[in-house]
Amino acid sequence: MEQLSLFGANESLRFPEELLEFYPQFLDTKQCMDLLKVLIEEVPWRQQIIQMYGKPVVTPRLTAWYGDTNRTYRFSGTKFDPVPWTDSLLHLKKEIETLTKLEFNSVLLNYYRDGNDSVAWHADNERELGTRPHIASLSIGQARDFEFRRKADHSGKYALRLNNGSLLIMKGDLQHHWEHRIPKSKKDIAERINMTFRLIRE
């Protein structure tokens, strides 16, 4: 499957591209439309209260966590109890594992209902993921900007447009040195679901 150069020529000199792999058309448009509809209707979506910088905050999006049921996972201080795999999510997991030669045992789903929904700057560096976690991020629906900035230097940032059907692999030291977010959008935009496949190691 074809991978793309991620950023413009100048930017790519500075962003360590070996920390990412990007497959812009992992799923085709028809697969995405079907999946978006099924997931919106069938997933037990919840709006979580999480800890952000020590304060309880209602997440500005809906979430659900699927995975092997003997695992629990923390995101920003909140424990998730996994829902058992559905056939379609398990099938996607296997396809991603075949393509990437990586292993996963859970998936966190994020549902961005409109431009008001977002995820704030963070790194996916929970202890359960191990020291250099690999994460596969599959996006369907409305394309949104995925922004990165260095933890040590907030003066600049990079944006990658995550289009319908795209698969982004985050790996290596990315979660140690970089943060990412999905900013809000003022435009009148449609819904998006993102699935982050992860390997919980304990």
Residues that bind ligand AKG (CB under 6 A): 108, 110, 119, 124, 137, 139, 146, 162, 180, 182, 194, 196
Q: Which is nearer to ligand AKG, 100 or 139 (CB)?
A: 139
- What residue 110 binds from Fe ion, ligand AKG, none (CB within 5 to 8 A, per partner kind)? ligand AKG
Name the residues that contact Fe ion, by CB under 5 A. Answer: 124
Which residues have a Cβ under 8 Å from the Cβ of 25 and sit 6 or more positions away?
1, 2, 165, 166
Q: Minimum Å distance from CB 177 to ligand AKG?
A: 16
Q: Which residues of 8-27 are buried (b: 16+ CB within 10 A; e: fewer)?
A: eeeeeeebeeebbbbbbebb
φ and ψ at 143, to 5 degrees? -70, 135
Q: From ligand AKG, Fe ion, none, which one binds at residue 175 (CB under 5 to 8 Å depending on kind)?
A: none
Task: Please identify, using beta-carbon distances, which residue of 53 and 188 lies nearer to Fe ion.
Answer: 53
* CA–CA separation, 124 and 156 (whole Å): 20
Nearer to ligand AKG, 106 or 137 (CB): 137
CB of 146 to ligand AKG, least distance (A): 5
Q: Which is nearer to Fe ion, 97 or 124 (CB)?
A: 124
Chain residue at closest Cβ approach to ligand AKG: 194
Backbone angles phi, psi at 118, to 5 degrees: -165, 170
Q: Return the H-helix or E-strand segment holding 182.
A: strand 178-182
